[in-house]
Structure 1
Amino acid sequence: MSSLPDLQSSFTQLIAAPSISSLEAKHDMSNKPVIDLLQQWFTELGFECQTPKVNDSRDKHNLVARLGQGSGGLLLAGHTDTVPFDEGRWNSSPFELIEKDNRWYGLGTCDMKGFFALIVEALKDLPVSEFKKPLTILASADEETTMNGAKAFAKETTVTPDFAIIGEPTSLKPVYMHKGHLAQGIRVTGRSGHSSDPAKGLNAIEVMHKVIGQLLKLKQHLSENYRENAFSVPYPTMNFGHIHGGDAANRICGCCDLHLDIRPLPGMELADLEHMVLNYLAEISAAYPGSINVSTLYPGSESFAGDANSDWTQVVEQLSGQQAQVVNYATEAPYIKQLGCQTLVLGPGSIEQAHQPDEFIDLAYMKPTIELLKKLIYKVCIK
């Protein structure tokens, strides 16, 4: 007799197992409890499971579950971690599944632990003994921070699927292209002193003013010289997200920090963007030797470009009843694509609920997602 939980129970158990990823050690959590649950369920379904530890992580693991032999087949991928939650802004516990207004609320319902529960539910009704091509499940670590789980899998695995689906929330619309992400910190170190004699110091805020002026020129250059009309925002964006400097009106500011975010189009390498930033600031750096430091805040994410006209895109469009689209946010797709497989991002729920207080997934997605997963698995692994 099967001990697999029903769909609501599997959602409940996954949400009750905190798996927050954070660059700050005090907020970061191991994802091992989620990995253990998934390993138990997929093992019962007949999968061979491995749970390799991810290097350079705080006790993070991937799950690689495989059913069937040989090369090719289908990879269903997703991440086991969540973002931190806003204390006091949730109307219920983030780690308790709450049903209200035909929605399931909880941290990870939409983005995206719930996807694995839906895979398990789809597999219950499939003749797994009849698989002609292998099905692989990747449950990765640290997507919300470094993407080290997906990067390690792409580097180390011997799995060679023909096709891949990454189950991020896309409202069940296939996504074949998205932008990347680069986050940089710029620190200007000046010389503090009494405000009554500015010449005796170096005001870091004034130097940062010059820095921002150059970055605005770079922002304009990016918007005027790079374009992909498939995107709703068809150019690379730059955002100044954080700035801090100084401590008193009557002191010359000795230090000023700026954090910025750049979203490159497919075909733009992160390393090239980093060089652009340095080149645009070179003249100021020469005028104020040793005062300007540019660093990467956290590992960036490459952009992703699949093929809107590929056989796989056309199959998924037909089975989902939705036309393939592009999005502005980043996923693990560029690393999964390194396996040589045709890759799409497609999953239940809306990205509008991701990273929000009271995250939820609408129950209207449950049956269509399960049916679509069955069709995709049958198409690739059984037919």
Structure 2
Amino acid sequence: MDETKKLQILSDLVSIQSVNGHERPVAEYLKTLFDKAGIKNQILSFPDDPDRANFVAELGSGKPILAISGHMDVVSVSADNWKTDPFKLTKKGDKLYGRGSTDMKSGLAAMVIAMLELKASGKQINGTIRLLATAGEEIGQPGAELLQKQGYIDDIDGLLIGEPSANRAVFANDGELDISILSHGKTAHSSTPAAGNNAVEHLLDVLEQIRHRMTELMENTSNKVLGKTIFNVDVLTGGTQYNAIPAEAVAGINIRTIPELPNQKILDEMQKIIDQYNQQTNGDISLKVDMNIVPILGDENSKLIRLVKQIGTPFVKSGKIPPQASDQHDNPIMPFSLTGIDTLGASGGTDASKFLVNDSLGANFVVFGPGNDNSHQDNEFVSQQMYLSFIDIYEQLLTAYSAS
């Protein structure tokens, strides 16, 4: 496949406005490519939402089975803040601008093209390459969760996620909890507060207790790769006007979790505090889990990591994976080697947390894909050289994995 066609596929993907919840058109586009190439594939619809679907394609047969995965959704845009049309891939020098160009339609396109080229070459695949293109990674990861429940992970030997990492091989990531703490009270005039029940005050009181307990739990627990648990209260709403006792209040909490302080332990501790508070006061507090993603700690010396280093290092040394920051930063935020592939853990989650929910420790797993540190930003872009290089890297990686 020539360079023009490779860029056209990425351009086509960027032009599909697959903001979270509208992924089916991407799956339908991928199906046309794989049907034309003669590669077995299927669109897997969400049971209750016609706009959403996953996509699965397989090349080869038998063992080993390497799953490669990318998500089809993108985050929303504020078009007024963009210098180009966010849904039209726009080239400026080596930069390809467009929503999802880094996160992560370039990674998805590179994986797809690698499979198409392997099929066209007639090379023997000693095993199976299974593409899992998912819906909804940006919010809740329902696509990956559905594929895991349907058994598409049960027989795999390794998992490659094509999220943006440049020359970094990520083998671990934090888990994540998004929690809503809801306080229900009774409205009244502020001059007669005893006639009501102040939901905001109850919420502030219980949040203080939760923060105190989380500080205790976090103080002596850490992971040598992922570091410490991160706890933030990010949303706080309640009340309607100065002279009315508020009847409702809500706090939104985001927690980045590590294996040493598991998600369920945190939830149990919070629920215990809330139950005691409700028993001892006239408060009515409840907890709602909006996202629950477990931490992943893979094997830094796994087969996939070794192959990524072996194949990727020459591309780094030759400058074919160039260091680039976002337009808002002069330098890359994360470490960037000019001599090889670094291995590290990252705070951001991926679909791996749903795929590997039953195998979260020591898995043969890596996040490795084109793109840098401008995910979700206005004027998102990917390096054209990096994108094209990853197509070659993936093709070599898929061949080497099945042969070894």
Structure 1 residue corresponding to 2:246, chosen from 253, 256, 259: 253
- Structure 2: state its 5+ residue gaps: 314-340
Letter in 2 for 1:375: Q
| Residue 350 of structure 2: aligned partner | 331
Letter in 2 for 1:8: L
Q: Secondary structure at the match of 1:273?
A: helix
Percent identity at matched positions? 26
- Structure 1: state its 5+ residue gaps: 22-27
Q: Secondary structure at the match of 1:229?
A: coil
The one-character-per-residue Cα deviations of 1:93-151 (angstroms, maximum 9, x if unpaired) are 22111112421111111111222322244345543442222211111111112212111
The one-character-per-residue Cα deviations of 1:144-165 (angstroms, maximum 9, x if unpaired) are 1221211121221356232221
What's the TM-score once normalised by structure 1's chain length? 0.89
Q: Secondary structure at the match of 2:101?
A: coil
Does the Cα contact within 8 Å between 1:336 and 1:343 map onto a contact in 2? no
Letter in 2 for 1:103: K
| Residue 24 of structure 1: aligned partner | none
State yes or no: 1:379 paired with 2:393: no
Structure 1 pair 356/149, CA: closer, same or farther in 2 (3 Å)?
same
Structure 1 residue corresponding to 2:28, chosen from 12, 32, 36: 36
Does the Cα contact within 8 Å between 1:222 and 1:235 map onto a contact in 2? no
Structure 1 pair 72/267, CA: closer, same or farther in 2 (3 Å)?
farther
Task: Compare the two structures and name the one with the higher strand fraction.
Answer: 2
Tell me by how many angstroms 1:367 deviates: 3.4
State yes or no: 1:11 paired with 2:10: yes
Structure 1 pair 128/223, CA: closer, same or farther in 2 (3 Å)?
farther
Q: Distance in 2 between matches of 1:55 and 1:268?
A: 34
Letter in 1 for 2:14: I
The one-character-per-residue Cα deviations of 1:237-295 (angstroms, maximum 9, x if unpaired) are 11111111112222222222111111111354433322111112333221334611211
Structure 1 pair 274/169, CA: closer, same or farther in 2 (3 Å)?
same
How do 1:289-368 residues align onto structure 2 when only pairs under 5 Å count?
289=282, 291-296=284-289, 298-321=290-313, 322-337=341-356, 342-350=364-372, 352-368=373-389
Q: Secondary structure at the match of 1:62?
A: strand
Structure 1 pair 133/4, CA: closer, same or farther in 2 (3 Å)?
farther
How do 1:105-120 residues align onto structure 2 when only pairs under 5 Å count?
105-120=97-112
Q: Distance in 2 between matches of 1:239 and 1:193?
A: 31
State yes or no: 1:62 paired with 2:54: yes
Does the Cα contact within 8 Å between 1:62 and 1:140 map onto a contact in 2? yes
Q: Secondary structure at the match of 2:102?
A: coil
Cα-Cα RMSD: 2.3
Q: Distance in 1 between matches of 2:357 and 2:204?
A: 41
Letter in 2 for 1:370: I
Does the Cα contact within 8 Å between 1:337 and 1:343 map onto a contact in 2? no
How do 1:1-383 residues align onto structure 2 when only pairs under 5 Å count?
6-21=5-20, 28-29=21-22, 31-123=23-115, 125-126=117-118, 127-157=121-151, 160-231=155-226, 234-266=227-259, 268-289=261-282, 291-296=284-289, 298-321=290-313, 322-337=341-356, 342-350=364-372, 352-382=373-403
Q: Secondary structure at the match of 1:228?
A: coil
Q: Secondary structure at the match of 2:165?
A: coil
Higher mean alpha-carbon deviation, 119-128 vs 259-268, is at: 119-128
- Count of aligned residue pairs for this structure pair: 371
